[in-house]
Amino acid sequence: MFFTSYDFLIFLLVLFFLYYWIPGTYQWRLLLAASYFFYFAAGPEYLVYILTTTVTTYAAARQIQNNADRQKQYIKEQKELSREEKKEYKNKQKKIRFRWLMACVFLNIGILAVVKYANFAIANVNGLLETLGGDSQISYLTLAVPLGISFYTFQAVGYLIDVYRGSYPAEKNPFKFALFVSFFPQLIQGPISRFGDLSQTLYQEHSFDSKVLCCGLQRMLWGYFKKMVIADRILTGVNTIIQDTGTYSGAYIFVGMIFYTLELYADFTGGIDITIGIAEAMGIRVQENFIRPYFSKSLKEYWRRWHISMCNWFRDYIFYPVSISKRMQKISGFSRRHFGEKVGKRIPVYLSSFLVWAATGVWHGANWNFIVWGLCNWAVLMLSEELEPVYEKFHKRFSLGEKRGYQIFQMGRTFLLVCVLNLFDCYSSLEDTFWMICSMFTKGNWQILWDGSLLALGLTRLDYLILALGVILMILVSLWQRKGKVRERIAEKGYPLRFCVWYGLFLLVLLLGAYGIGYDSSQFIYNQF
């Protein structure tokens, strides 16, 4: 039951009606039932996974919280304890809490690793055995990847770490915590919410407000436009190019990487718009996950604007803890003594970033392409960090930083860099990816851009016209967003204009959506994660 299916729209219509019809104290319970029904519809066998994560994380968080409460009470009562005794007692209790944390994290990350990466590991071991001349092969596991397992696992692990850190107390009600983990709009592709943020509105009572409902529906409609009019239409051209490496190379790869980058943006941000819109329609706030990423002037800025919840998760739960860990401090001290102060300062940042980007690549998929994609991002970011003083001198010398033309150049450069990196997401092997990238520079078939060859990709002239107008509309909306929310600005206009805007957008989705014969809706790209 995907966001673009008729079944989901019927499910949503019934949910909205019941949500505002029942007493407010039962609303979060209805959402819990709806979330588990949604997950059950995706596959009854998947329930065991999300239930395991929910139960173990809830239990571990309660143990950690109870231990912290007992420690606080004990120290309060035992006033005669010396400072050293208090310190020793706190360290002992902290170790107990840490063991609970690690046990639960290893269990849930272990489940994720087995389900998503066991066959990848087996394939690499079998390849190594074959290279060494061995005859035996390890059998592959027959495990299906549950819907959104990476998203709800990371969300649960983040919650547990925050409880361990004392950021907020553990939730006492197991059913409320179950809703936090399983809240259905986020299951498909995020965002990865923090309990302290989502819980503020998730469990509240919400009275019916037509403005709130309409605001959420408008956000959903914009998401459906990006997904169905742009992403699903351009998908035909993307698949034609990447599925036939023998025919399509050179300039076709340039076209394909532009197409795929636009498809990924429209697909992913469209899905997030639908997620946020569903929540908004019920008075629930879900964090933004994108802030105009293709207006970034550098790759560093791009990753501050793209998939924000994921980037923040890796920053807060991997980068910072690793970079300030005792082991990293020892490595930094060793580097300072043997390689100088500058190198010693950089080592923790570079090693922590390397770990983050390797993990980010693995998170995206069980494939060497994703790992290399992550490490390429790391290499570019670290090189840019080293060259930062050179950039500053260059900008100061030629006074280019504030010039509009140069800023547009920076945006275009970053966009093309992202496009090239996205090619690792398109092909099934590193060999194909590198050959296709090289072919853009070695095969001189650029005439395909104007000789009509692009019409053989499964897209008609009308399709190209619709895509061009859709992309222009997305750019204009992004530009308008810099001055505030577009919906709020439209809401200030008269009723005739508001009606024309939203009814017109509805007609565009209805008439121009890429439904296909019999309409088999395409899954969102990030469903696989």
DSSP 153-219: HHHHHHHHHHHHHTSSPPPS-HHHHHHHHH-HHHHTT-----HHHHHHHHSS-----HHHHHHHHHH
Contact 272, 190 (CB under 8 A): yes
pLDDT of residue 345: 80
User: Which pLDDT belongs to residue 1?
Assistant: 67
User: How does pLDDT run across 61-82, given as a tens digit for each residue?
Assistant: 999 999 999 999 888 888 788 8
Give the integer Cα–Cα distance in Å for 106 and 266: 35
- Which backbone phi and psi does 91 adopt, to 5 degrees? -65, -40
Rounded CA gap, 400 and 354, in Å? 32
In this structure, the dihedral spanned by the alpha carbons of residues 196, 197, 199 and 203, taken in order and rounded to 10 degrees, is 150
Tokens of 280: 């908004």
pLDDT of residue 491: 85
Report whether 61 contacts 108 (CB < 8 A).
no
User: What is the Cα–Cα distance from 284 to 16, expressed in whole angstroms?
Assistant: 13
Amino acid at 30: L
- Report the largest interatomic distance among the alpha carbons of the chain, rounded to a whole angstrom: 88
Distance CA 146, CA 46 (A): 5
Low-confidence ranges of the chain (pLDDT < 70): 1, 400-401, 515-529
pLDDT, position 520: 47
Tell me, what DSSP letter sits at residue 293?
G
In angstroms, rounded to a whole number, what is the distance separating the alpha carbons of residues 300 and 382? 10
Residue type, 317: Y
- Residue 146 preceded by cis peptide, ω within 30: no
Q: What pLDDT shows up at residue 518?
A: 42
Query: pLDDT per residue over 5-53, tens digit each?
Result: 888 999 999 999 999 999 999 999 999 999 999 999 888 888 999 999 9
What pLDDT score was predicted for residue 371?
Answer: 93
First to last CA, the chain: 17
**CA-to-CA distance for 116 and 485, rounded, in angstroms?**
38
- CB hemisphere CA count around 159 (13 angstroms): 32
Task: Characterize 314-331 residue by residue with b for buried, 16 or more Cβ atoms within 10 angstroms of its Cβ, and e for exposed.
Answer: beebbbeebbeeeebeee
The SS3 call for residue 294 is helix
Please report the pLDDT score of residue 519 as a whole number: 45
What is the reported pTM? Answer: 0.91
Are the CB atoms for 267 and 525 separated by under 8 Å?
yes
